[in-house]
Each structure stands twice: as structure tokens, then as C-alpha cells.
Amino acid sequence: MSAVQIKLSRVEEDLFCKSKWWGNPDIPEGFTFDDSLMFVCQIRCEDLVNYDVDDKLPHKGMLYFFCDVAYYLGYYDEFDPPSGALWDEEYVKVYYSDNEDYDSYKQIIFDDDYFPEIHERKIDFEIVDDDNYGNKLLGVPCQFEYEDWESPCEGWINLLQIDSEEDDDYNLMFMDEGTLYIIIDPKDLSNCDFTKVRAYIYST
């Protein structure tokens, strides 16, 4: 399976309803989500058409990723999710909306006193080898000799790989320069059902 590399850049342009990392999510009217988790990114799925060569991901609407990652950004008074084990659904959420009427979307502003304030990044995409490092959609895990995920997630695939990264306004560190994998059952992915995703941190 090929992978889609996520390349981040800090820009001054308006990223409303565009693919972006950090910042605040743009959601359609009536859309609900768990606001206790930190917003990581939104993917405008039409941007993936030329990069998702295996046709695994949705190609319309918006895909959102939320994770309990504040601890790994240096907010140590926040709860530390388990490492070295599968995270259950309370620590990671992925939402999908097939709504393409972006005029009906609005931006949700998170409380800066509760979540770290990080300047949003524009996302560009690139087709890469499936075992590439960095942030990516799909592909195989980059950090270890992958055979399978532990029970009950045997046969699941990588949906989003989030690498440790240092930038001018944040330092994201999963243990010792580790990686967070958000994984999904392939059958659920084919049905655009993101309600049962899990996550796993691996660090050397």
C-alpha cells in the first residue's frame, strides 16, 4: 500500500475549510464532536484525489483527527495517555463529514487556557514509499518491524502516522522521539466508518 506524506508549512493565508494541521477545526452546521480532545488536523478529502492512488480514503468532504496529545506537547499537568499499549476510544477520535457545502461550515475556537495555542499549518501532500518516516496517511509503521497490531486489532492498518517534531512554537515528543499511529479496521475504512479507531505509541 502506498502512503500519502503530509508536509506542513506555516503560511499567512486563510486556511478555513482547507487541509490544515493544528489551529481550530472548521465544521458543518449541526456537526458534533468530543471537545475534550485536542484538534490535530483536518483533511479536505478532495485534496487526496491525486495522491491516494490505492483509493482507500474518502475523496469528498472533511476528515478530522482529535487526540489526547497535550501531555506530549509539554503540558505535563494534563493526563498522560498510556504508552506502549493500544489507546482505546477515549483518547483518540476521528470524524468524517461528507458535506461539501463549505458555505455551511463554521470554525470552532478552542479555549486557549485548556489546549496549547499553536499556529495552524497548511498541509500539502506527496506520494511516498509506504514505510516513509514523518507525518503520513496510510502506509506501514516506520518505527519498528511491523507484523501486526496486538489484539483485538489484528489486521488493522495505519490511518495516520504522527511523528515527533520540533518547530518554532511547539515541541511534540512521543516519549523518546517516538511515533503515534492511529489505526483502523480496513473494513471500517472502506465503509467510511471512523468510530472505532485506536491509537498506539511506539518509541525506541
Q: What is the pLDDT of residues 128-166, one digit of tens each?
A: 988 888 999 998 876 556 677 777 888 899 999 999 998
Whole-number pLDDT of residue 86: 83
Q: Is the separation of the CB atoms in 157 and 1 below 8 Å? A: yes
Q: What was the pLDDT predicted at 94?
A: 98
Kindly compute the dihedral angle of the four CA atoms of residues 111, 114, 115, 119, in this order, to the nearest 10 degrees: 50
CA dihedral 37, 173, 131, 66 (to 10 degrees): 10
Provide the pLDDT for residue 112: 62
Radius of gyration of the chain (CA): 16
CB 30 within 8 A of CB 36: no
Phi-psi bin for 61: left (phi > 0), alpha (psi -120 to 50), beta? Answer: left
Q: Which helix (H) or strand (E) holds 190?
A: helix 186-190
Domain extent listing, the chain: 3-202
Mean pLDDT of 161-172: 90
Give the CB-side neighbour count of residue 74, counting CA atoms within 13 A: 9
User: Counting beta carbons within 10 angstroms of the beta carbon of residue 18, is it exposed (0 to 12), middle (13 to 18) or buried (19 or more)?
Assistant: middle
5 vs 135: CA distance, rounded Å: 6
Query: What does the alpha-carbon distance between residue 204 and residue 192 come to, in Å, rounded to a whole number?
Result: 32
| Residue-level pLDDT at 84 | 62
Cβ pair 30, 66 in contact under 8 A: no
pLDDT at position 2, please?
A: 85
Predicted local distance difference test score (pLDDT) of residue 143: 58
- Gap between the Cα atoms of 50 and 31, Å rounded: 28
Which CATH architecture describes the domain 3-202?
A: Roll (2.30)
84-101 average pLDDT score: 90
Whether 81 shows a pLDDT value over 70: the answer reads no
Indicate the pTM of the whole model: 0.93
